[in-house]
Amino acid sequence: MINKRIAVIGIPGKWSTEVLADHLEQRTGYRCIIDMADVVLELETGQLRYQDTLLNALDGVIIKKISETYSPAADDRLRMLSSLEADGVRCFSPPNQVIRLINRLEGTAALASCDVPLPATRVTESTDAALDTIQAFGKAILKPLYSTKARGMLVLKAADGVKANTQKLDKFKAKHGLFYLQQFVNLGGQDLGMVFLGGEYLCTYARAGDANAWNTTIHSGGKYIPFDPSPELIELGRKAQSCFDLSFTTVDIALTDEGPVVFEVSAFGGFSGAKKGCGIDAAEKLCDYVLSQFEARA
């Protein structure tokens, strides 16, 4: 038993949050799940409180989930947590790193600056420029800056014509503002989730898509299956995740006719894919890693 008070920041009742809290309780005797919706930040002191728990007095926190959905409010929640590290509370992953991945544009820009291969991407507020991009790409995916599991994404085809696409763009802009357009790539029915723990490769699973869906997300009917990547593919995933300093993450990779491309690095990573696709209890592995970091400092 390791005498450390480590809380899980997540969604009470959600499997990934609860299973991580279970492992921590087994190893430390302490269990605490923090819902950021009920956290109070005292700006004059820098203290954060969740019910009767003073977060600044904890030994550490694992940020498993900051909110149910990505939004600017998720940014705010992470900024609230930034004072913890100054008080010596270990954060897994650091809030300032997770913030970089909540906004799709910031995360993709970081990958591009590290020369990670990505689908061709254009970002603009101009409807005319967006129409030109759709024409140049032939087929494009229009993505909200804040979303997960392909929610809110649209497939736009040049063949549908300027009028139809203008209507779709105008409707999207009224809700989301900026146009983030990525060239449509043929996934071949699957894409990959490559899991890293403390920067080290853990496993890879594939998401096999439903025949009726353009994406492979589980939300759209996909399923997890095992996948054995080449050493070169693992190095690509390693390069992508090394653009950020994350305790646990999943790199989304597609195998295209032109070679592999990275879609994104996850802000939090998923336990379910590692469990169902690789037979690995990633929550237990993450718990072991976190506790090893405390032991290394002892």
278, 234: one domain: yes
Q: What is the pLDDT along the chain (298 residues), one digit of tens a residue?
A: 789 999 999 999 999 999 999 999 999 999 999 999 999 999 999 999 999 999 999 999 999 999 888 888 899 999 999 889 989 999 999 999 999 999 999 999 999 999 999 999 999 999 999 999 999 999 999 999 998 777 889 999 999 999 999 999 999 999 998 999 999 998 777 899 999 999 999 999 999 866 554 455 555 557 899 999 999 999 999 999 999 999 999 999 999 988 999 999 999 888 999 999 999 999 999 999 999 999 887 6
166, 248: one domain: no
> What is the b/e burial string over 123-141, where b = at least 16 CB atoms within 10 angstroms of the residue's CB?
beeeeeebbebbeebebbb
Q: Into how many domains does the chain fold?
A: 3
- How far are the Cα atoms of 19, 36, 37, 67, 267 from residue 9, in angstroms, in the given order? 12, 7, 11, 9, 13
pLDDT at position 269 is 85
Tokens representing 122 are: 């254009």
| pTM value surpassing 0.75 | yes
Alpha-carbon span 48 to 286, nearest angstrom: 24
Domain of 208: which CATH number?
3.30.470.20
82, 16: one domain: yes
> Quick check: is 108 in a domain?
no
pLDDT at position 258 is 87
Tokens representing 162 are: 């300027």
> Quick check: is 116 in a domain?
no
Q: Looking at 101, 133, 155, which one is the last position of a domain?
A: 101
Alpha-carbon span 87 to 85, nearest angstrom: 5
194, 172: one domain: no
Residue 258 is part of which domain span? 186-284
Domain of 131: which CATH number?
3.30.1490.20
